[in-house]
Structure 1
Amino acid sequence: MNDFSITEKIIGEAIFVHKQLGPGLLESTYQNCLFHRLKKAGFSIVKGSPLPVFFDGIQIDCAYRLDMVVESKVVLELKSVKKMKDIHLAQMITYLKLGGYSTGLLINFNVLKLVDGIKRVKI
């Protein structure tokens, strides 16, 4: 399955979660519910995957953790914020670069319509 197909299915499951719960809850609630839905859909997922930083020839343990990695290909960064900011996109791009991934989904659940809170990121 290619990255685009994976992201389409993830978006569908995220919309399902959002329709059931609505906006305004904690990020961790959406994360756990989406994790459940993606597992139920048959995806391989790692939640809280460590993201080391390599600098000047050494590994720096900075305790960064990716919200989820689906099928070892797509990074999910979930938010529940009033408004998505440029820093959130910059964070996703950095996570993709550091982890060697090419595709990510930045999803803000704190919106009335989830399609307004989804940003597909490709590097």
Structure 2
Amino acid sequence: MTENELSKVVFDAGLKIHKKLGAGLFEHVYEECLFYELSKTSLVIERQKIFPIIYEDLKIENAFRLDIIVQNKLIIEIKAVEYINSTHKARLLTYLKMTNCKLGLLLNFQSDIFKNGVTRIVNHL
């Protein structure tokens, strides 16, 4: 599947969760539910995947952790905040660069309308 096809599957799962639970819960609740929904598919998904960073001769273990990665192509960052700010976007773009992934989704479940809480971040797509 392409990154865009994967993002459609993730969006649909997120929409289902948002319709059922609404806004106002902690991020980890939405993350668990999204992982649960995606695990019903045949997609390869990993949750809380840890990555190292290599800086010159220094290897930093546990440098960052992804909420969810799908098919080693699509990074999903779960938020439950009033609004997505530039720091959230910059962090996801950095994750994309560090993993050589091309597409990331910020899913903000705090939004009243789910689609308004979805932000796509691209890395050379």
Does the alignment reach a TM-score above 0.5? yes
Instruction: Give SS of 2:68's match.
Output: strand
Unaligned runs of 5+ in 2: none
1:57 deviates by 2.9
* CA offsets 1:53-84 (integer angstroms, 9 cap, x no match): 11113211244210010011100011001111
Name the structure 2 match of 1:72: 72
Name the structure 2 match of 1:41: 41
Instruction: Give SS of 2:24's match.
Output: coil
Write the distance in 2 (CA, Å) between the matches of 1:120 and 1:42.
23
Instruction: Give SS of 1:43's match.
Output: coil
Unaligned runs of 5+ in 1: none
Identical-residue share of aligned pairs (%): 32
* Structural mapping, 1:1-12, within 5 Å: 1-12=1-12
Tell me the C-alpha RMSD between the 2 structures: 1.0
Could you tell me the TM-score, scaled by structure 2's length? 0.94
Instruction: Give SS of 1:78's match.
Output: strand
Q: Specify the code of the residue in structure 1 equivalent to 2:58.
A: I
Write the distance in 2 (CA, Å) between the matches of 1:11 and 1:57.
40
Name the structure 2 match of 1:89: 89
Instruction: Give SS of 1:106's match.
Output: strand
Tell me which stretches of 4 or more aligned residues in structure 1 moved more than 3 Å.
none
- How many residue pairs were aligned? 123
